[in-house]
Every structure is written in structure tokens, then in C-alpha cells.
Structure 1
Amino acid sequence: MTLIPKPFVFARHAQSEFNAAFRIGGFTDSPLSETGIQQAKDAAPILSAIDWSVVATSTLQRTQETAFHAVPKQTIMAYEQLKERNWGDLEGCPIEQQLPYDVTPPNGESWRDFETRVLGALNEILSEHSWPLIIAHSGVYRVLNNVINGTPYCPRIGNVTPISFVPSQDENGWEITPFKGSFTCYQMP
């Protein structure tokens, strides 16, 4: 499965209570920590300055809370398929217990099923909206990295660190850069 070549901005949610405790969050609906609330508010000057075609989040509280604080005047559309990977029996365990991505956790979701689910949602969003802001999870970012660069293994994206994805003539077909609040690198059709 491929990603529709349309521009978008991706941001991982702000720090959750599970992030702060170094626990595997996955499907667990962990709210933002106090630090996370401040991170989301700190991102507002860049993210809320744009009139996004849609602000898409997962249905998990940590992504919706991030959007609430980072883009407070925009309507949020929550997508069940953008949820983090279901880590099954590992939910809530220390982060050191996380398995390699190609290993299915006990009673959890396989990488293939997770990637298929996430790509379906991303392509639905991209087919319906001209320049979306997608606030989701580090696993969703790893799906993007796998589709574009051929591996889910990459540095963990920082909390509320917006990244611009723009189709290009580059080797991998995308220009991926930190989002600084403008669209100067891409002419909207």
C-alpha cells in the first residue's frame, strides 16, 4: 500500500501520563501530563496560525487534548484507524519491554495489520482534504517512515514536533522537513 502524494503536516501528541512514566501506551487512553498540556500550548503559535483543511486526530484522548490546546479554534475530526498500535499484554508495561515492530505482541496487533489500518486512514484523509494537520502517535510516524523510507526504525519523533510532508522529486518521493508555520516549499493547486 502506498501513500497518496499530497502535502500534510504531522505532529505526535504531547506528553501523556504513560509517556512521563516510560510505559507502553498503545490503545490505553492515557491523558496528557501537565508537561504535555504545556507542550501543546507552546505549539499553538505555529499550529494555530494556519487554517487547516482538517485537523485529524485518533480517537485517543492524548491526541484530542493536544489538538484542543494547539489548535483551539479548529474543528477536530477523530479517526479510530489513527489509534496507536495495540500492544496487547504489553499495554502499561515499562517501555523497555516493547518488542521489535515485526514481532506481534501477545494478544496485540501485528505490524502488518497496524500499518494497513493507519495507511487506510491517512489515505482517506489525504483524498478528502487539501492540507491537513494530523495529530497522532509515534507508531503512526513509524508507518510513514516505513512507507517512505522502507523501515519503521527511526528516531522517535518528539512530542508536538510538527513535520511537513510534501511530495517531491526526491529519491523517496517526499520532502520531509520541520514545519515552521508556512507553506513556502509547496504551491497549493
Structure 2
Amino acid sequence: MTTIYMVRHGETEWNAAHRMQGWSDIPLNEKGREQASFAARKFESIPLDAIYTSPLKRAADTAEIIRGKRNIPLIEEKGLIEINLGRWDGHTPDEMDALYPGQYDLWRTKPGEVYIDGGETFADVQERAFAAFRRIAERERGKTVLLVSYMGCLSTILFKIAGYPLNDLWKHPIGNCALCEVDVDEQETMKIIKWAEDDYIPERLKMKVPFGRVKK
């Protein structure tokens, strides 16, 4: 059996401000680093053969915090990078409304139908993220590994395994530093064991409204 754990990165200032966050390389904020420290405690007793991470800081730093002082290989995997948001990157919901009328509401309600100028669709993300997931599962056959990535990216992998439509992507949110687990057997059958488990993250550190417009 191959066990693949997946963790979303810790919070950034753009998360807190509900800014669209794709390939912009925004670091963890203080809260995000604290979230990652609780994820590290969760993994203290879990032997890991390798940790794979997106190259962006918010994921790579989360992976480093979880690894701690253990001698575990930390491997960059570009296939695990977040969705490319093109011209949308960095905008708040109100800015999106002004610049791209109706597109933020479409993003929230039917993400599988969104086309981003200069960016990717979630079908694009799912194709390359799931391909990366399968490569890692094959490379690490029989081992236990951790992938550190993003809600959009990790959700598309889980949706592929579960057979869910991409328009339902936000109906199953993954909080900052929440844990997912997929087991892959010798026949390459994939089974989701955990999805967005975050009981080890204190309530005070959880984002109460993961999406939406910041109240003025």
C-alpha cells in the first residue's frame, strides 16, 4: 500500500484579505506559520519517506515547518503548483467586480466553467496535478509521502479520484493546513481516507469564511 498525505499551505496575507491567489509568490503570515506548526505536531509520529511540495513559498515553507529537523527528502514538484490566475491574480472580490463583471460570482458558483484571461482552467489544473500525483504514487510505491500544495490543486486531485464535477469544487473546502489522505493499492486503485481533516488546528486559527467579500 502507498499512503499519500496531502496538506494545504498555511495562511498568507492574501488569504486573509480574500485576494485571488495563484502563482504570485506570497509568503506565510504569522498565523499561517502557527497553523503549519500544528500540522507539524500532527506529523511528528508519522514516518514519512519523502515530502513533495510546490516551489511557491507558502507551500515550500509549510513543508519545511512540517519536516522540522527530520532527515526527510524535500522534493519540488511543479505539477503541484496552484492554478495560474493570469490577470486575476491579486485582486479582491470588489476589484474583480469592477474589472471583470460577473466573473467572481461565476468563480464562486461554477468554477468548472471559468476561463481566466492569461491563466488556466480547473480542467487544466486537474490534468497536470493528477498526472503529478500518479507519478509520485508510482515513484514512491509502497511508501508513505506527503504532498504540500493548495486548495484548488489538491481539490482537483480528490475530485478526479471521487468522480465529482469541477463545478462542485468549493462545496468541499480544504482549510489552511488541513489534511487529506489517499491510499493506493498494488492495482493502483485509489481510495480517499481523509478529506480536509483539521481537528488538530485550534478554532482561533481557522478562517471562518474561506470565501467571500471582506466586509467594509
TM range (shorter): 0.7 to 0.9
1:137 maps to a residue whose letter is Y
Aligned-partner Cα distance in 2 for 1:138–1:116: 15
What CA distance in whole angstroms lies between the structure 2 residues aligned with 1:174 and 1:93?
A: 36
The equivalent of 1:161 in structure 2 is: 178
Q: In structure 2, what is the Cα distance between the partners aligned to 1:175 and 1:138? A: 16
State the superposition RMSD in angstroms: 2.4
- Matches of 2:17 and 2:49 in 1, distance apart? 35
Matched, 1:27 2:23: yes
Q: In the alignment, is residue 113 of structure 1 matched against residue 124 of structure 2?
A: yes
For 1:102, which of 110, 113, 117 is the aligned residue? 113
Show the counterpart of 1:187: none
**Residue ranges of structure 1 left out of the alignment (5+ in a row):** 182-189
- Matched position secondary structure for 1:101: helix
Report which of the two structures shows the higher radius of gyration computed on alpha carbons.
Answer: 2
Structure 2 residue runs without a partner (length 5+): 97-103, 201-216
Match of 1:63 in 2: 59
Distance change >3 Å, CA 33–CA 173, structure 1 → 2: same
> 1: distance between equivalents of 2:18 and 2:198?
27
Task: Return the letter of the residue paired with 2:174.
Answer: I
Query: What TM-score, normalized by structure 1, do the two folds share?
Result: 0.82
Q: Give 1:49 shift.
A: 2.5
Q: Which residue of 1 aligns with 2:165?
A: 151
Equivalent residue, structure 1, for 2:145: 132
Which residue does 2:82 correspond to in 1? 84
Percent identical: 25
Deviation at 1:176, TM superposition (A): 2.4
TM-score, structure 2 normalization:
0.73
Preserved contact between residue 52 and residue 148 of structure 2 (Cα < 8 Å): yes
